[in-house]
Structure 1
Amino acid sequence: MANHYVVRDIDRADPGTIAELRGAGVATAHEAAGRTGLLGPRIEARQAGAAIAGSAVTVSCHPGDNLMVHAAVEVCRPGDVLVVTTTSPSTDGMVGDLLATSLAARGVVGIVIDAGVRDLATLRAMGFPVWSRAVHAQGTVKASPGSVNVPVVAAGQIVRPGDIVVADDDGVLAVPAVSGRAVADAAARRLANEAARRETLAAGTLGVDLYRLRPLLADLGVRYVDRLPADGAS
């Protein structure tokens, strides 16, 4: 018989670092992390404008069975993000408004689930953010063992307990807690640089000049012409 665990204690990142990464956003933090840690696009935001970050509490479930999600609620702390996966592909609605109510009572800031959610209108009315593989009314059972706070794979990305999970309209990112400070600092530098570039672009400077792309275009054989010949020949 396979071993299954509910791990109570995990190492969490500094709350200030987590807050900085939430403010930076997924796209900037992903670049700052060396373009690593991004979950695949099959997990989508189910509400517009939500932005969260927190320490990952991970769950590995049997498909169509949310027993271990219920078990995970007990070990969640304020500021955590619940990351739910299944051992084989599933789109069943494993989390709905009742579980979300219980999670919110524990201070969980949102759910990332590589499966389905349901009761979406109520979840939105609650202001409880979810990122999911599907929205599906199909219910689940509570019968099969799994594990809480073990490494999991969500949308092709390894997520470890305590990883900093950043999620917004651009997707979901997992940053190892030990790398959080360095990534937050790199993200702050990127934001400052982007602010300066935004002002330059707003003033009318073209991207091909700001990023010195004209020599590259020439090296690649791209030519500027006023019009193509009538017969389309080069």
Structure 2
Amino acid sequence: MRLNNLGLVRTNIERPDPADVARLAQFGVATIHEAMGRVGLMRPYMRPVYTGAKLCGPAVTVLLQPGDNWMFHVAAEQVQEGDVLVAGCTTESEDGFFGDLLATSVSARGCKGLVIDGGVRDVADLEEMNFPVFARAISSKGTVKATLGSVNVPVVVANAAVNPGDVVAADVDGVVVVPREVVGAVADASQKREDNEESKRQQFRQGVLGLDIYGMREPLAAAGLEYVED
């Protein structure tokens, strides 16, 4: 009996409907997060390693050991077209786990990007390849290949729980995790929110105040707000 998730590779994970993933990819992280009930965000230290990086796809999860990138080479075999690698570590580590060679390898398998609660390097090459990466740190420090982690097991990445097949979306506003079972519903809710915000955007352009759009005047007065003319 396996007492932990180390040394385990799950080879047949469920992924959401690609059409639902494509619909979700149209929306920004802030919209998705709000539409999902303000849950699912990773910690704000997770940042794009170059300007303009953006991704959305089902997660192939990787559990790394500190300073060891062995499991990325194992994960490369499990990647399918449209997937995103999502990597956590058994403890905090900012070493450069991932660079252009691994990006070249997983890109050839159809991988669309990486989210890692750790360090990456070769950033200029990653940008030239248009391989989006969101990471905890940028670090040139190398890693070894010596200790088993796992692939396609539940992981915690920057305080967010990620299961294999969940959809991870990332842009300049952050990284959000959408559970596989609700991707379609969250895409619907995101579209509804986007439509509602566009209506408000048009009113703001015409000079209407948020005080009136959101009906704030009465509750502000009830809370005791006073206007005083000096």
TM-score by length of 2: 0.96
Query: Separation in 2 of the partners of 1:151 and 1:137?
Result: 28
RMSD across aligned C-alpha pairs, in angstroms? 1.2
For residues 57-78 of structure 1, give each alpha carbon's deviation from its aligned partner in whole angstroms, at most 9, with x where no partner exists. Answer: 0000111000001110000001
Matched, 1:86 2:77: no
Q: Which residue number corresponds to residue 73 of structure 1?
A: 76
Contact 1:25 1:51 in 2 (8 A): no
CA drift at 1:219: 2.2
Contact 1:22 1:51 in 2 (8 A): no
Q: Which residue number corresponds to residue 227 of structure 2?
A: 224
CA drift at 1:4: 1.8
Q: Which amino acid aligns with 2:37?
A: G
Q: Which amino acid aligns with 2:10?
A: V
Matched, 1:177 2:180: yes
Contact 2:50 2:123 in 1 (8 A): no
Contact 1:54 1:79 in 2 (8 A): yes
Query: How many residue pairs end up in the alignment?
Result: 227
For residues 86-129 of structure 1, give each alpha carbon's deviation from its aligned partner in whole angstroms, at most 9, with x where no partner exists. Answer: 10001001001110111111111110000000011111111110
Identical-residue share of aligned pairs (%): 51
CA drift at 1:50: 2.6
The partner residue of 1:34 within 37, 40, 49 is 37
For residues 131-155 of structure 1, give each alpha carbon's deviation from its aligned partner in whole angstroms, at most 9, with x where no partner exists. Answer: 0000011110000001000000001
Consecutive unaligned residues in structure 1, runs of 5 or more: 228-234
Q: Which residue number corresponds to residue 51 of structure 1?
A: 54
Contact 2:10 2:152 in 1 (8 A): yes
Contact 2:42 2:157 in 1 (8 A): yes
Query: Separation in 2 of the partners of 1:219 and 1:156?
Result: 39
Structure possessing the higher radius of gyration over alpha carbons:
1
Q: Which amino acid aligns with 1:38?
A: L
Query: Separation in 1 of the partners of 2:193 and 2:212?
Result: 19
Q: Which residue number corresponds to residue 124 of structure 1?
A: 127
Q: Which amino acid aligns with 1:85?
A: G
